[in-house]
Amino acid sequence: MKKINFGFVGCGWIVQKTYLPILKQMNEATLYSVYDIDEEKAQKCAVEFGIKQVFHSVDDLLEAPVDAVIIATPNCTHEAYARKAIMKNKHVICEKPTVLHTSDYEQLQEAAGKQKCLFLPAYVNRFRSEIMELHKILNGGILGNIHTVEAGWIRKCGYPSLGGWFTNKQYAGGGVLVDLGPHILDIALTLFQNRTEPVKATLETWYKNYDLSQVKNYSAQWYDGDKGLHYDIDVETSAFGKVIFTGGKILNVRLSWNAPVEHDETYFVVTGEKGKLIVKTLFGFSTNRADELNRIEVLQNEGNSTTIVFDDVAKEQMKSFNRLCKYIIGCILKEESPQEITDNGRNVVKLTELLYQNEKAKRGDMEVF
């Protein structure tokens, strides 16, 4: 059987927590090489996971017989690494928010097409059980024509390291909208059938002032990545977006790292001409859940209602990374380009850019909820 040689550009928190342990278990994958700006970390990681080679530069890594690279570095570096990798005929799996500008995304997509390699946004939450079920239900046409989607990911205290690169605009490209936003927008945009172009987009954002002596207490309890206070904190911590598409379809998005709530939650409320579907869940690794279970409720206008419950919530995020890795391997082995995911990835970047163009920024915490 042909084995796929994976190279890792960046071996930080997400790579060590998910891709490396998962791909190590998969017969079709070889953990071939790693490059990280922090060479000591790369060396340690190579020893821990049995990665064959550590490289001193991304160019060296790309000269090696690597079939696919997983890019998981600070957001501002994704575009240049993806471009280099594609030009060396490597399949590219790029962590969210992929890139920050639509024009860059389109160039990468085109280059990947020419070089006959994948350019795949790693949208893991598509592979969650309740999200796969959501699509199955909607594909059956139970809601009729869908006109409104409300979606959100709200955390009580879930900064992925306050004061690290995630909360600095130069490195991250933005705040919660580029961190949690891509996961939500990727799914939300696929819920409208025959979705058209946005005609209006508005974004309200909140920028908090910090007591820097307390910074360590603000970080998410599950994130043990870069804990240092290295950079200015200059990105939005909460964001409300509203998008109107031609034909009047509406998307409302709410995102926060620090909302005035007791528990973290992720939700989708999908309304169509025949009823409503509600997904109540929690993406990511937070354990601050309101409910022990994830649920889908379907409420039909004629009065019928159904609830589907998903247990095993603690393992769901790792299961979805597992499915993502299998999916990546399947695409590479079958030489199949995942057109829908890649095209939707472009729409996510485009909408994010549009929302930021129409941003109305405020100081402080998100007060309404």
Which of residues 6, 7, 8, 14 is near ligand NAD by CB under 6 A?
14
**Total of chain residues touching ligand NAD, rule CB under 6 A:** 22
Q: Which residue is nearest to ligand NAD (CB)?
A: 12
Binding mask 25-64 for ligand NAD (x = CB under 6 A): -----------xxx--x-----------------------
Backbone phi and psi for residue 335, each to the nearest 5 degrees, phi listed first: 50, 45
Q: Does 226 engage in binding with ligand NAD (CB under 6 A)?
A: yes
User: Could you tell me which stretch among 69-77, 82-90, 126-134, 330-338 binds ligand NAD (CB under 6 A)?
Assistant: 69-77
For residue 190, the minimal CB distance to ligand NAD (Å) is 17
- What token pair was written down for 298? 């379907």
Q: Does 154 engage in binding with ligand NAD (CB under 6 A)?
A: no
3-state helix, strand, coil in the chain (%, to 5): 40, 25, 35
For residue 317, the minimal CB distance to ligand NAD (Å) is 8
Phi-psi region of 282 (alpha: psi -120 to 50; beta: other; left: phi over 0): beta
Q: Does 77 engage in binding with ligand NAD (CB under 6 A)?
A: yes
Contact 256, 246 (CB under 8 A): no
Closest among 356, 369, 349 to 101, alpha carbons compared: 349
Angstrom distances, CA of residue 77 to CA of 10, 53, 55, 83, 367: 10, 22, 17, 10, 33
- Residue 303, classed as helix, strand or coil, is coil
Q: Does 124 engage in binding with ligand NAD (CB under 6 A)?
A: yes
Which of residues 75, 237, 286, 342 is near ligand NAD by CB under 6 A?
75
Q: Does 95 engage in binding with ligand NAD (CB under 6 A)?
A: yes
Q: Does 72 engage in binding with ligand NAD (CB under 6 A)?
A: yes
d(CA 53, CA 283): 33
Which of residues 5, 30, 33, 73 is near ligand NAD by CB under 6 A?
73
For residue 86, the minimal CB distance to ligand NAD (Å) is 17
d(CA 122, CA 150): 23
For residue 324, the minimal CB distance to ligand NAD (Å) is 9
Please give the order of strands across the beta sheet that includes 91-94.
53-54, 29-35, 4-9, 68-71, 91-94, 119-121
User: Could you tell me which stretch among 10-18, 101-109, 134-142, 260-268 binds ligand NAD (CB under 6 A)?
Assistant: 10-18
Query: E strands along 29-163, which residues?
Result: 29-35, 53-54, 68-71, 91-94, 119-121, 146-154
- Contact positions toward ligand NAD, by CB under 6 A? 10-15, 36-38, 41, 72-75, 77, 95-96, 122, 124, 160, 225-226
